[in-house]
Every structure is written in C-alpha cells, then in structure tokens.
Amino acid sequence: MTDFDATRFLDAYGLRATRPRTMIAHILFADGRDRHVTAEWLSDEVGRRGEPVALATIYNTLHSLVEAGALREVRGAAPGTIVFDTNAHPHHHFFDETTGELTDIPAGALSLSGLPEAPADKTVAGYDIVIRVR
Amino acid sequence: MTDFDATRFLDAYGLRATRPRTMIAHILFADGRDRHVTAEWLSDEVGRRGEPVALATIYNTLHSLVEAGALREVRGAAPGTIVFDTNAHPHHHFFDETTGELTDIPAGALSLSGLPEAPADKTVAGYDIVIRVR
DNA sequence: CTCCGTGCAAATAGTTTGCAACCAA
DNA sequence: TTGGTTGCAAACTATTTGCACGGAG
C-alpha cells in the first residue's frame, strides 16, 4: 500500500490538511505518477472514492495547489477547459486533436533555439510548447 | 484609401460576400496588418463602424475563415477565450500575463530542435510555442 | 427560386463568487 | 477561539445551437 502522508504533503506546501484537500492530494500525488486532470475528472474520482466534494472546492483546491507550486496549469489544451498537471517542472506536451488527450513529452527531448528577447521591460516567465498531433 | 476588395477576397476563399462577412473582411484584412482578435473585440469594432452584427454570426464567420485558411486560431492564450490571428502562417507568440496581450514572434527568430516523434500512428499536425512574459 | 447565411433567443460548458456554517490549529 | 475552508446555489463568461426569415447567386 501507499505510505503517502497527505497531511505532511500539504503541510510542506503550507496548506491545511482538510478532508477535501487530503482526498485530492491522495488522488493526485500518492503514487508519484504524472497526471493531467480536469476539475471534472477529479470531482468524479473523488466521488468514486468516498464522500463527494463540492465542485467549487475542487477548483479552490486545485488553484491553491497551483499557487503553492505543487501543480501546474497547462495552457494550450482545448479551449474552455483547464488542465492541471501533477508534474510541476518545466516540460512540454503532445496534444491529440482527435481525443483531446494531453501527453508529456519526455524532458530533454526538445529544446528551443534562438529564444527571442522579450518585449521592452518584460521578462520571460517561461514557455509552453504544444505539439499538436492527429 | 484602401483598394481592398472584400468580395474578391471572400470569393478567393470560397465564401459568399454577405454584409457581415464583408465588414469583417475589411476590418481584419484591408490593411494587411497582422492582428489578434477576439470575437468580442470584433463585434465591438463592427458596431463602431456601422450596423452591428449578431455575435453568433461573428463566431460563424470567424470559424468559416479559419476553416477556409484565412485565419488561425491561437491556442495558449488566456483560457476561456479564443484568439484569432490574421497571420495564418506558422509562427509563434509572446503572451503577456499581465495584460493578456498576444504578440507575434518574428518568423524564423525561433526554432525547435529535437522535435520528438509523435505517439504511435499519429502525425504531427503542427506546434504552438507560447513564450510567457511578465 | 434555392440554399446558404443571418439574427435572435435560449441553451451549454466551464469556472467563479457570495455567504453562512464548519473545523483544524 | 478564530481565521482559513467548505458547500451550495446563483452568477458569469465565452461559445454554441435551433429555427424562422432573408438575400446572394
């Protein structure tokens, strides 16, 4: 079984260990796998495992986790849905236009050459590369 | 003045020259500049120049133009809004996280090395690079 | 004349907010 | 105790759809 300690995990990110957050942390981080989840999927999954959590709380928690740095919001997926990535480190994605599925591109498999300068008095905060496949 | 012929332009893309389409073509393509527009901005701009057009028609037209290849949908901008780019050729963008503004990156200023293989039986349809600045 | 395109209003989808009740520290 | 959290329902934003009317070819 998993020896994942959700309370400790949340604590490390400065978040109180409440019931919803504990469940969500388990689902997302217990096995250390990289996941791409939507609020809706997560809500369903929470329901499947026990007491449901209000959708608004799902969003709250996801955003808290993003802010804390445990999760990353992925841009470039189908418009109209936010995808959260349990891999918070910089990396890029395949986006399958047919299925809407998002897959990681193995780190280091890809790099940019000639990163242009940011416009005046702006700094580059990062970059997202989405390879669209069909 | 502009010698832009919207009817001819639309015709070239196989689209009938109706009033809404003519107005939109003028706004987007008359001066040949590259533009990033949202449906809402376009709707306002149409209103500013004369008879308004139903928002649904704005969307219809934009999608027709995308399908025809005159316009490109940009992924990776602020979630929840579709941005249409009058530059239909492959190129990439700066996304200003503060203002939500999208700017073109001069073509050729940027290239990708080590484009990874697409997952099994998929083909790469293209890629979008968004450089986030702050 | 015919059919594509349009306008309107209503429907959706996804996400956010306001606020009272609640509970971890 | 007390301020951070939650749940619910209602609000919102962006986009899409259904359907009758209208105009381009």
Question: Tens of pLDDT along A68-119?
Answer: 999 999 876 767 789 999 999 888 899 888 888 888 887 777 877 777 788 8
Greatest Cα-to-Cα distance within chain A, rounded to the nearest angstrom: 53
pLDDT score for A55: 98
Comparing A5-9, A74-78, B13-17, the range with the smallest average pLDDT is A74-78
Greatest Cα-to-Cα distance within chain B, rounded to the nearest angstrom: 53
CA–CA gap between residue B128 and residue B73 (Å, rounded): 11
Q: Is the CB of A81 under 7 A from strand D?
A: no
Give the 3-state secondary structure of residue A69.
coil
CA B108: distance to chain centroid? 19
Give the 3-state secondary structure of residue B86.
coil
Nearest-Cα distance to chain A for B110, in Å, is 5
CA–CA gap between residue B47 and residue B51 (Å, rounded): 6
Protein residue closest via CA to C1' of C16: A56
* CATH architecture of the domain formed by B6-133: Orthogonal Bundle (1.10)
Q: What is the pLDDT of residues B20-72, one digit of tens each?
A: 999 999 999 999 999 999 999 999 999 999 899 999 999 999 999 999 999 99
Mean pLDDT, range B77-91, rounded to an integer:
86
- Higher pLDDT pick, B89 / A98: B89
How many CB atoms neighbour CB B129 within 10 A?
A: 22
CA–CA gap between residue A114 and residue B129 (Å, rounded): 13
**CB neighbours of A32 closer than 8 A, spacing ≥ 6?**
none
Sign of CA dihedral B42, B44, B48, B49: positive
Burial of A24: CB neighbours in 10 Å, binned 0-12, 13-18, 19+? buried
Q: What is the pLDDT of residues A18-66, one digit of tens each?
A: 999 999 999 999 999 999 999 999 999 999 998 999 999 999 999 999 9
pLDDT score for B111: 78
Banded pLDDT at A127 (limits 50, 70, 90): confident
Q: What is the pLDDT of residues B93-112, one digit of tens each?
A: 998 888 888 888 877 778 77
Banded pLDDT at B1 (limits 50, 70, 90): low
Query: What's the Cα-to-Cα distance from A69 to each of A63, A121, B112, rounded to whole Å?
Result: 10, 26, 27
Nearest to A114 among B95, B110, B119 (CB): B110
Q: Is the CB of B49 under 7 A from strand D?
A: no
Beta strand B72-74 with B83-85 is antiparallel
Nearest to B134 among A110, A125, A129 (CB): A125
Banded pLDDT at B2 (limits 50, 70, 90): low
